[in-house]
Chain A
Amino acid sequence: MSREATRVVVTGVGVISPLGAGLADFEQRLYAGESAVRPSAQFSGATTAEVTAELTTWLGNKGVRVLDRTARLLSVATHLALCDAGIERPTEDGPEIGLVYGTMFGSMRSITSFDWTSVTEGPSYVSPMEFPNTVISSPGGQAAIKYGLRGVNSTICAGPAAALHALNIAAEFIRFGRAGAILAGGAEELCQEALYSFQHRGLLSPRGVARPFATDRDGTALGEGSALWMLESEDGAAARGRAPSVEILGFGESQDSQTTAECAAEAMRQALANSQISPDQVACIIAAASGSPTVDDAEARALFAVFNDDVPVCAPKATFGEAMGASGAFSAIVGALALHRQTLAPTPGATGAGLLSPEARKIAGDYAMINAASYDGNFASLIVRAWSGPGGNETSHAGI
């Protein structure tokens, strides 16, 4: 990313998470140090962080029955983000708006259920109406139809790092001049199949806790939800009279056959280099850490290798769990909130020793680094900057 490139800014946010619906609930419960991770009423024996809001509140009932849960979560985030960005339902003559979101499992629940009918009752008993939901990209297509999104529509899979990839891909589309406005982030539903997939890769905490970086960590707990940012070119936002909150800067990613400290450090260094900033300019870090013995260890060692020991770190998966495809988008909001308030959110359950704090902390600076990791060797870092305008100091709370 070159400094001369089009600047990509955030002018709206939509979030539906285990912390509630909308930014206000997310912010309030995040800063109160709450954790939404608790024994599941829905999935026997599992500890999860679930979205409890009634989704039809935003979606209405028309045409909703056919949407699976991932599509509903993504649609709620789309609705909230469009409203927050001050965009009425896009029209066919208006500018194209895109949708680029990350997901880990996509339509897994729908595809399993579709196939189950075929296996147990026979292929002639499945509903052809349900077939479109089986393609991994179906939530994006459904949200596009519901909200009139005619621009790029792209689903990105990179495990729990997917949403950060999606934010960067959307930003690159805008820098290229290929799009003016894109909703970008992530979406994932919690389902039994996702729980099995994590469980049988040995990634879930047997004790049912999510304690990032803790010495006694033994795995993670799954969350769910969706969050989208409205990304626009600086000029596009100005033309609409929208004051951005933050700006998307550089991205970095690296992979190996498993997540190593070198791999994590490489992603962070690339993000810094692509943002043309030094480590000491970073005001806070939103960690990928989820309670995984190996991945948390790699991230911690990379943080010590790249940054000073005293850089403030928050690990918000202690709050909303490992929300898979949505994780990176939730974390990006945590980073933007920290910059806006100049206060980093607490990490519930942290002891205060080591990287994290159970209390909110003052920070100073304009740059936040957001990290994300898959559990199979992909590590991603994205840097966002508090928006200061081309020359002035105009800032906004909109779209944090």
Chain B
Amino acid sequence: MERVVITGVGVVSPVGSGKDQFWHALLTGKSGIGPVRSFDTSAYPVHIGAEVHDFEPAPYFKRLDPTGICRASQMAVAAARMALADAGLERLPEDRRRVGVSMGTTSGEAECIEHYNDARKESGDLAKAGPALAAYPSHMIPRHVAIELDLHGPCVMIPAACAAGNFAVGYGLDAIRMGRADMMISGGADRFTRIPYTGFARLGAIAPERCQPFDRNRKGMVPGEGAAAIVLERREAALGRGARIYAEILGYGVSCDSHHMTAAHPQGDGAIRAMQAAMRESGVTIDNIDYISAHGTGTPTNDRVEAMAVKTLFGERAGKVPMSSIKSMLGHTMGAASAIEAVACALALASGWVPPTINHEIPDEDCTLDFVPNKAREIGPRVLLNNAYAFGGNNASVCLKRYEA
């Protein structure tokens, strides 16, 4: 089996864009959450979000006109270009048929739908509003990345909601292992829109002030936006071109709860099966896992079930494996979340440091694991799991390993 490694990372996030700014923010516990600026929240019971305020798309575009495409695509292109530059690939391999793109999302270019509905309301004329929908299909996000970067290999969108980033990374891994590509740019993108904000607000799932995963007083999640991309390539090819290797992707596992559209399985059945499948495929056991990147959205039930699943699976070892949620800082960037977390995992493996769960003050007796409260820690992780869970009961775990020559 081909061994596949990560050689580049790119990120657009509420705590900063670009690897250095992003990683510094995570290790210093900076929060990207604040009052929503994208739209008027006066009709909502909550008013905070995790938006990206400093994103300027133009510098990342050479072929496409960024003003002609929507924001999720813009952020995806930016993350992909950063990842390529980070991988030392300003000049791509000659055969572009061997380089592909896989992306995940929750809402895709939902702003098209919002423009359509706004125009309908304003004009009262459906047909006049119609043009806003031309750019909607979500596969245009990876297509825009591929067109901008002139990549002709495998290209798909896997809109697996809040686990989409892990699905896209898994696809990238498979495309290389199956010999369909030599290199994949995999990640996720979602922009801040009123549609998920409305939905989460109506579910009563949004925290009023801050995001406190696994804390006893946690009050909910905070919707966010962002994009991330990682460059995956065959280990031998990476070594051959003298690339810096962040980490190796050992395998992944996916499952479906088949239980409820929005509520996690009460015993964490699907989450456990996804972790087991990822470890089985990776040839590791719970004793090898040094760190878990939690899904950790901050909602009372999901955090409890997630902690329970880890306790059930890891048994006595559970409390000894640090598990943190960077959503405490970034909010929930939806389809981008597990891709952004993959970047954090790659940086953790390369640096030895793991980011904290901030706003973690009072332990919850239902969640008694080591959540790396409030302060980053140097633990030198060798193998870790990146977990993500989604509406529809979708669970995805990716297993990553520190690169060892």
Enumerate chain A interface residues (CB-CB to B < 8 A).
Answer: 1, 96, 98-99, 104-106, 108, 111-112, 114-116, 118-120, 122-124, 126-128, 131-132, 134-138, 140-142, 144-145, 148-159, 162, 165, 169, 172, 175-176, 178, 192-193, 196-197, 199-201, 251, 253-257, 263, 266, 374, 376-378
Contacts and interface: CB of A to CB of B under 8 A. Distances in A.
Contact of A132 (B253, B255, B256, B391): B391
29 contacts: A1-B178, A96-B273, A111-B195, A116-B117, A118-B194, A119-B121, A123-B43, A124-B43, A124-B45, A131-B202, A131-B262, A134-B199, A135-B106, A135-B392, A144-B393, A152-B255, A153-B160, A153-B256, A157-B108, A157-B138, A158-B139, A158-B155, A178-B281, A193-B113, A197-B136, A200-B133, A254-B97, A255-B155, A374-B143
Which of B107, B134, B178 is packed against the most chain A CB atoms within 10 Å? B178
B252 to A, nearest CB: 9
Nearest to A98: B256
Interface in B132-161: 133-134, 136-140, 143, 146-147, 151-161
B159 A155 contact: yes
**Interface of chain A, main secondary structure:** mixed
B320 interface: no
A116 B130 contact: no
A377 B130 CA distance: 23
Interface in B235-280: 253-262, 270, 273, 277
A378 B143 contact: yes
Nearest to A376: B143
B394 A137 contact: yes
A173 to B, nearest CB: 8
A288 B106 CA distance: 28
A138 B391 CA distance: 7
B120 interface: yes
A115 B105 contact: no
Contact of B254 (A106, A136, A152, A374): A152
The 9 closest A-B pairs by CB, nearest first: A141-B392, A131-B199, A196-B130, A136-B159, A132-B261, A153-B256, A157-B157, A128-B202, A157-B139
A132 B277 CA distance: 26
A158 B157 CA distance: 6
Given A132-B262, A200-B131, 13 more contacts: A106-B138, A108-B136, A111-B107, A119-B121, A131-B200, A136-B107, A144-B392, A150-B255, A151-B256, A153-B160, A159-B137, A175-B178, A255-B155
A10 B18 CA distance: 46
B265 to A, nearest CB: 10
Given A111-B195, A152-B256, A137 B391 contact: yes
B161 A137 contact: yes
A378 to B, nearest CB: 6
B297 to A, nearest CB: 15
A136 B108 contact: yes
Nearest to B262: A132
A169 B171 contact: yes
B117 A136 contact: no
Nearest to B281: A178
Contacts of B154: 253
How big is the B interface, by class? 35 or more
Interface of B: 43-45, 97, 105-108, 110, 113-114, 116-118, 120-121, 126-127, 129-131, 133-134, 136-140, 143, 146-147, 151-161, 164, 167, 171, 174, 177-180, 194-196, 198-204, 253-262, 270, 273, 277, 281, 390-394
A128 B107 CA distance: 16
B120 A116 contact: yes
A103 to B, nearest CB: 9
Contacts, number: 226
Contacts of A137: 159-161, 164, 390-392, 394
A237 to B, nearest CB: 22
B256 A150 contact: yes
Given A115-B117, A159-B139, A192-B126, A127 B254 contact: no
A310 B131 CA distance: 42
Given A156-B158, A377-B143, A112 B116 contact: yes
A155 B335 CA distance: 13
A197 B115 CA distance: 13
A126 B199 contact: yes
A118 B120 CA distance: 13
Contacts of B164: 137
Nearest to B140: A376
Contacts of A142: 261, 392
B121 A120 contact: yes
Contacts of A1: 178-179
A120 B258 CA distance: 34
Contacts of B391: 132, 135, 137-138, 141
Contacts of A106: 138, 159
B127 to A, nearest CB: 8
Contact of B195 (A128, A134, A175): A134
